[in-house]
């Protein structure tokens, strides 16, 4: 129920600090709506496309807000493969991800970070937070693609086995037995009587 309201706020294009904070908070909140929450496509698709496309043209979002918009959209992809065309070809997710990661990695002083990691209570920079969010999202996607690849391989294996079985039946001359095994349903007093086709004897093979 809250998604349309969050995206309505995120669509604000007024350039002032207060409105920008509202946009940021709305997108951050939307990115926390996990993949297990089913949301109808018509409640978010046009809005999230407009938010991302507007940023492509005007760069109106901070990096954390931009990543949050993508996070919300990618999470929806987990339950709806039809979004792939929009994500890849309309909004250019691979290109945008590569660009964001390149900029973020340049913003981080990795040598200084390594030295400071040994200090207790060190806080991560904004750039580090956003970088890790992108990387986690790319990991959520990698796992999903691996699952799909596994499912496709299993389905291909099932089809191969079915084909081999059919070919074996055909080779041994049993393929004609299959249509002969007709079940005759005689419904009387809610009971079923099952039997074989009357001319099944013509299909038996003498061994």
pLDDT tens by residue, 10-41: 998 877 888 889 999 999 999 998 888 888 89
Judge whether 44 and 86 are in contact, CB under 8 Å: no
Could you tell me where the DSSP H helices lie in the chain? 3-10, 17-31, 45-58, 63-77, 84-85, 93-107, 110-116, 126-172, 177-180
pLDDT of residue 14: 75
| Averaged confidence pLDDT in the chain | 78
Reported as a single tens digit per residue, the pLDDT across 104-132 is 888 877 666 666 666 665 677 888 889 99
> CA 143 → CA 9, 39, 73, 133, distances in Å?
32, 22, 17, 16
**pLDDT band at 64, cuts 50/70/90?**
very high
């Amino acid at each position: 129920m809250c998604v349309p309201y969050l995206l309505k706020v995120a669509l604000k294009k007024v350039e002032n600090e207060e409105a920008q904070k509202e946009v940021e908070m709305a997108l951050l909140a939307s990115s926390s709506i996990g993949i297990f929450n089913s949301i109808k496509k018509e409640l978010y698709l046009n809005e999230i496309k407009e938010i991302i496309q507007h940023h492509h043209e005007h760069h109106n979002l901070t990096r954390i807000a931009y990543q949050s918009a993508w996070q919300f959209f990618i999470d929806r992809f987990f339950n709806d493969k039809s979004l792939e065309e929009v994500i890849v070809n309309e909004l250019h997710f691979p290109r945008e991800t590569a660009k964001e990661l390149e900029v973020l990695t340049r913003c981080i002083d990795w040598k200084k970070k390594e030295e400071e990691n040994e200090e207790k209570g060190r806080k991560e920079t904004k750039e580090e937070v956003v970088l890790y969010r992108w990387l986690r999202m790319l990991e959520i996607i990698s796992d999903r693609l691996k699952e799909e690849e596994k499912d496709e391989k299993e389905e291909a294996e099932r089809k191969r086995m079915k084909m081999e079985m059919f070919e074996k039946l055909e080779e041994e001359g049993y393929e004609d037995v299959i249509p002969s095994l007709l079940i005759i349903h005689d419904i009387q007093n809610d009971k079923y009587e099952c039997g074989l086709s009357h001319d099944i004897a013509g299909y038996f093979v003498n061994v």
